[in-house]
Structure 1
Amino acid sequence: MQQLNNKHILLGVTGGIAAYKAAELIRRLKEHGAHVQVVMTKAAQEFITPLTLQALSGNPVHTSLLDPEAEAAMGHIELARWADLVLVAPASADFMARLTNGQADDLLTTLCLATDAPIAIAPAMNQAMWRDAATQSNAATLQAQQVTLFGPGEGEQACGDIGPGRMLEPDHIAQLTAQQFASGSLDGVKLVITAGPTIEAIDPVRFISNHSSGKMGFALAQAAIDAGASVTLVAGPVHLATPERCQRINVQSAEQMLQAVNEQLDSCDIFIGCAAVADYRPATVAEQKIKKNDDSMSITLVRNPDIISVVAKHQPRPFCVGFAAETENLIAHAQQKRIRKNLDMIIANDVANSAIGFNSDNNAATLITAQGEHSLALASKTQLARAAIAHIAQQFKAGNKPA
């Protein structure tokens, strides 16, 4: 279940005897690398304590919509943005009814309305309640609204009845959760991504670089892996863990990055140039540390190779995706860059906005192709990467070319 690695799972626990299984479910999700935060309804707290789930998840358990401390930072909105998936297990008949009707009368239902992340529920109730026409209608409505149902299973219930309505076991739910991140849209595709900054040496201790953290490129790599691609990540100097099942090549300078990319191109189907490559480098690199002798200092800079332009001219030519980090006239400048560099797609984001872009965990972007524009709203870089990869896969399979 490698698809769960580094995923943000927001686990909702509602009232019912199956709430005790939430403890084991948290353990299973964390064993496979997921980060888990828990939201409990008032009824759930009658069956299992928040302290138990806090100890297992390693995070405070959220129970109140109107928590003064959390609301000072719009806590429920932050939780909604944090989640890669909202998983409600167990999901009671009452919760299903309220979610179907779009109610927002507690923290959990409010989060479900506020999140852009997919929602999955694991129903748990008496067999007669599950078979009731109202519950069946609610289940059908939720599925039509793209809510995924995990189960329910059949078997002996706490009340002594036997039949459908039993919550699936934690192992099974964890497996189904992992499957939510495996789209298969890039099965068999070979993809190369550059990420992070490059550093251009001035002398043995000084260099020119930029603020790129590499987070967006690494998130794209993980999303592509989850979609079934074979991924090579060419990374500048960043302190980020390598996604599982990913080949990573570490480089320092733009010239080293170009060399590493060139070595991958003959077998590359899609290239994503996410790295913030330095446009210029010092013409010469001092062999010894430059001493501070004068009030001013001049360094002659020369142009670095334009990596993505080189890739776009390579034969066979991969599907080419570039990035445009702009501070003004975002769409116009990005569109000009796409045409100038002969790219299939360019992903434009506003780095003048301190809430997104460099060093932030969140981002927003506009995907621009010859066929039009597609906006991705503010979300975590993980969520944004999944949406971007889905769109890239769609364009790649459609065979759309730059114009």
Structure 2
Amino acid sequence: MTRLATKQVTLGVTGCIGAYKAVLILRGLQQAGLAVEVAMTEAATRFVQPLTFQAISGKPVYVSHWGRDADTDIAHISLAQRTDVLVVAPATANCLAKFAHGIADDFLSTLYLATTAPVLVAPAMNVEMWRHPATQSNVALLRARGARIIEPAAGFLACGMVGEGRLAEPEQVVSAVLECLAGQAADSAGHTDQSLASHHILVTAGPTIEDLDPVRYLTNRSSGKMGYAVARAARARGATVTLITGPTSLTPPAGVKVVPVRSTRDMYDAVMNHLEEATIVIKAAAVCDYRPRQTAQEKLKKAAGTTTYHIELEPTEDILAAVGARKGQRFVVGFAAETDWSPSLALDKLRRKQADLLVVNNVLEAGAGFDVDTNRVSLVTADGETIPLPLMTKDALAHAILDAVLSHHQTGRNPR
């Protein structure tokens, strides 16, 4: 069971075109190991049917106070009491106004008044509605009362206008919920999990790209999800985090210093530039091992009658080995995405790279490859021990890896 398995999130959905993204938010919260229930406004059901959320969550969807005769509980009160976080996404201008002024005329607005849990609100509306002084006043009032506002993005809106008002991307909303829950992870004395507060963690994530010509390039299928999960988990546990990331479509975690790169050489330079300040290095990026020896300045044409084309490759910089050679007192974690591996080969790699821990997975295994939200790995330690971990979400695995790192630092033994 993950540390999130007992957490309850209530997802509120209000009526605008962005409601379709709430389905992706629900799935993202579940993949992070959270239990989720959904409350919708009547207007939201015009965009997405409650049955969709019910089928995904496996639980009834709350729309009205009425029509649940078999339920003897006062529904909005019982749901409010078991909620650890209330996140409303999308939140319309009407929803913001109700919340700000205490109007409780439907299930969701009544739930908002009844819960003492943290509230996260992700607005979505027309740009002029968002900019209107009334809306901005309502947002300011909600902030003053402790609600976290997940700012809308700018771009092309459903109404045809361009500007801020788009619902934040699902990954950003899920990340905000996870950060909120991490802040709630308190012991009986009320202290949050700050187990990494004394550390500066350098994380690499995503793929690198090696250009062949102005049109084509070599890369791999890494999405960056594992590295971003590690950065998010480390930040939640109090660490100062620098995330060096290859090109991805992910939203960076809040509170993390982000250094975008493209090529393996770019990533090597960025890691070396930031290595001095780091106490822990976690190399989750899937860098290209080779690059074209020459990069064409113009697009390579297909010649008539040509059946083959040869590209000469050369090795790229070995970033993990370079970090290992300069690690000093730093703790270094490497990743190995393999299609066939053995503990002896993994241990050999770990020792050649002078790493302290190697995270190995088989990318051909279901649920453990690229661009998925789960992973199944084995941890290989410097003394030759192999520790297999079960299939879990990448967010849960990130915490498991950090637990292993902390165990090593605190006991002087290899992590278990």
- Answer yes or no: same fold by TM over 0.5: yes
TM superposition shift of 1:88:
7.7
Q: Quote the residue 2:375 is aligned against.
A: 363
Instruction: Tell me the secondary structure at the aligned position of residue 286 of structure 2.
Output: coil
Please say if residues 322 and 346 of structure 1, whose CA atoms lie closer than 8 Å, have aligned partners that are also in contact: yes
Aligned residue runs from structure 1 range 307-318, under 5 A:
307-314=319-326, 316-318=328-330
Instruction: Tell me the secondary structure at the aligned position of residue 186 of structure 1.
Output: coil
Q: Quote the residue 1:116 is aligned against.
A: none
Is 1:208 the counterpart of 2:218 in the alignment? yes
Aligned equivalents of 1:265, 1:199: Cα separation in 2: 22
Q: Quote the residue 2:351 is aligned against.
A: 339
Alignment equivalent of 1:186, drawn from 186, 196, 213: 196
Aligned equivalents of 2:370, 2:226: Cα separation in 1: 9
Q: Quote the residue 1:60 is aligned against.
A: 53
Is 1:228 the counterpart of 2:238 in the alignment? yes
Structure 1 residues without counterparts, runs of 5 or longer? 1-6, 13-21, 41-48, 68-86, 92-118, 122-167
Is 1:382 the counterpart of 2:391 in the alignment? no
Please say if residues 334 and 355 of structure 2, whose CA atoms lie closer than 8 Å, have aligned partners that are also in contact: yes
Aligned equivalents of 1:272, 1:64: Cα separation in 2: 34
Alignment equivalent of 2:8, drawn from 1, 8, 11: 11
Residue identity opposite 2:206 in structure 1: G
Aligned equivalents of 1:258, 1:205: Cα separation in 2: 24
Please say if residues 235 and 241 of structure 2, whose CA atoms lie closer than 8 Å, have aligned partners that are also in contact: yes
Q: TM-score, normalised by structure 1?
A: 0.61
Is 1:170 the counterpart of 2:163 in the alignment? no
Aligned residue runs from structure 1 range 148-159, under 5 A:
none
> Closer, same or farther in 2 for the Cα pair 1:245/1:23, shift >3 Å?
closer
TM superposition shift of 1:35:
4.5
Aligned equivalents of 1:347, 1:203: Cα separation in 2: 34
Please say if residues 200 and 241 of structure 2, whose CA atoms lie closer than 8 Å, have aligned partners that are also in contact: yes
Aligned equivalents of 1:281, 1:170: Cα separation in 2: 55
Deviations 1:361-391 (A, max 9, x none): 1111111213533332111111111221122
> Closer, same or farther in 2 for the Cα pair 1:190/1:229, shift >3 Å?
same
Residue identity opposite 1:268 in structure 2: A
RMSD over aligned Cα atoms: 3.9
Please say if residues 344 and 400 of structure 1, whose CA atoms lie closer than 8 Å, have aligned partners that are also in contact: no
Aligned equivalents of 1:63, 1:401: Cα separation in 2: 40
Aligned equivalents of 1:64, 1:361: Cα separation in 2: 17
Instruction: Tell me the secondary structure at the aligned position of residue 248 of structure 1.
Output: strand
Please say if residues 11 and 39 of structure 2, whose CA atoms lie closer than 8 Å, have aligned partners that are also in contact: no
Residue identity opposite 1:248 in structure 2: V
Instruction: Tell me the secondary structure at the aligned position of residue 60 of structure 1.
Output: helix
> Closer, same or farther in 2 for the Cα pair 1:176/1:197, shift >3 Å?
closer
Alignment equivalent of 1:322, drawn from 328, 331, 334: 334
Residue identity opposite 2:236 in structure 1: D
Please say if residues 81 and 115 of structure 2, whose CA atoms lie closer than 8 Å, have aligned partners that are also in contact: no
Please say if residues 242 and 248 of structure 1, whose CA atoms lie closer than 8 Å, have aligned partners that are also in contact: yes
Instruction: Tell me the secondary structure at the aligned position of residue 255 of structure 1.
Output: helix
Aligned residues: 282
Aligned equivalents of 1:187, 1:177: Cα separation in 2: 13
Structure 2 residues without counterparts, runs of 5 or longer? 15-21, 61-77, 86-112, 120-179, 187-191
Aligned equivalents of 1:240, 1:280: Cα separation in 2: 25
Aligned residue runs from structure 1 range 82-161, under 5 A:
90=81
TM superposition shift of 1:90:
3.4
Please say if residues 196 and 212 of structure 1, whose CA atoms lie closer than 8 Å, have aligned partners that are also in contact: yes
Aligned equivalents of 1:264, 1:64: Cα separation in 2: 42
TM superposition shift of 1:183:
2.2
Residue identity opposite 1:180 in structure 2: A
Please say if residues 192 and 271 of structure 1, whose CA atoms lie closer than 8 Å, have aligned partners that are also in contact: yes
> Closer, same or farther in 2 for the Cα pair 1:23/1:285, shift >3 Å?
closer
Aligned equivalents of 1:318, 1:196: Cα separation in 2: 22
Please say if residues 7 and 84 of structure 2, whose CA atoms lie closer than 8 Å, have aligned partners that are also in contact: no
Residue identity opposite 1:90 in structure 2: Q
Instruction: Tell me the secondary structure at the aligned position of residue 299 of structure 1.
Output: coil
- Larger deviation, residues 327-336 vs 221-230: 327-336
Aligned equivalents of 2:7, 2:44: Cα separation in 1: 16
Q: Quote the residue 1:394 is aligned against.
A: 407
TM superposition shift of 1:305:
1.0
Residue identity opposite 2:392 in structure 1: A
Instruction: Tell me the secondary structure at the aligned position of residue 389 of structure 2.
Output: strand
TM superposition shift of 1:66:
10
Please say if residues 38 and 53 of structure 1, whose CA atoms lie closer than 8 Å, have aligned partners that are also in contact: no
Residue identity opposite 1:267 in structure 2: E
